[in-house]
Amino acid sequence: MKRLTMQQANAYLRDIGMEVGTWNQIADRQANKPKWINYRAPRDALLNFSHHVAAWLPKGDWKIFQIDNSTGWMDPVQVSLFGGLLFGTEEVPDFIEDRTFLFEFGKKKTGDENSELLISNLIFIFLLFESHGYVVSSNSNRGQLLGVQDGFIYFASRDEKDIDSAECLLRNFERDPLASPSWVSEIFVERQEKVAQ
């Protein structure tokens, strides 16, 4: 994980037609407005829900997690939890300066899996504390953007098919909220088998 300045973030986001907006949100630069749906995150099975929604974004070479200006992070417990996931216990993050986090993929399978799990855990924390954040992928070429605001998850895209897939994902989650998504189950099974060997 790397911290990015706004200029560095915009260099990545430009390739997918997005930019960091005036309120530190990730904004679409395209003329046509993206379509979107939102969904109130359930309090029960919230972590599992976060794993499901994180899988909606396409995989790619990188993902950016962005915190907008609506998130104040004044509570030391929240800072400790979020910062501990990103930096460990040795560093207290400065959320005035540190608002953009880059996760790079493609080096090692285990590292990629851990980064995907970490991103879904960050989504969980933002849903839990009803903070404001955004996640995009290097392959969000159709404007796929995952937003977290006030306990709601937002799925946005310029392509109606992406919105349809988000609705399908939500229906599948509602059918069995306690079932892990396949990508998490596969990691669990594979790592259990390694321990058993």
Q: How far apart, in whole angstroms, are the C-alpha atoms of residue 76 and residue 99?
A: 17
Query: What residues have CB less than 8 Å from 176, skipping those under 6 apart?
Result: none
Query: The whole model's pTM is what?
Result: 0.93
Q: What pLDDT was estimated at residue 184?
A: 96
Q: What pLDDT was estimated at residue 94?
A: 73
Q: Which residue in the block uniquely carries the two structure tokens 């099974």?
A: 189
Question: Which pLDDT tens digits describe the chain residue by residue (197 residues)?
Answer: 999 999 999 999 999 999 999 999 999 998 678 899 999 999 999 999 999 999 999 999 999 999 998 876 657 777 778 888 888 877 777 777 789 999 999 999 999 999 999 999 999 999 999 999 999 999 999 999 999 999 999 999 999 999 999 999 999 999 999 999 999 999 999 998 888 77
How many other CB atoms are found less than 10 A from the CB of residue 194? Answer: 9
Single out the residue of 103, 91, 187 nearest to residue 138, CA to CA: 103
Single out the residue of 88, 86, 126 nearest to residue 103, CA to CA: 86
Q: What pLDDT was estimated at residue 73?
A: 62
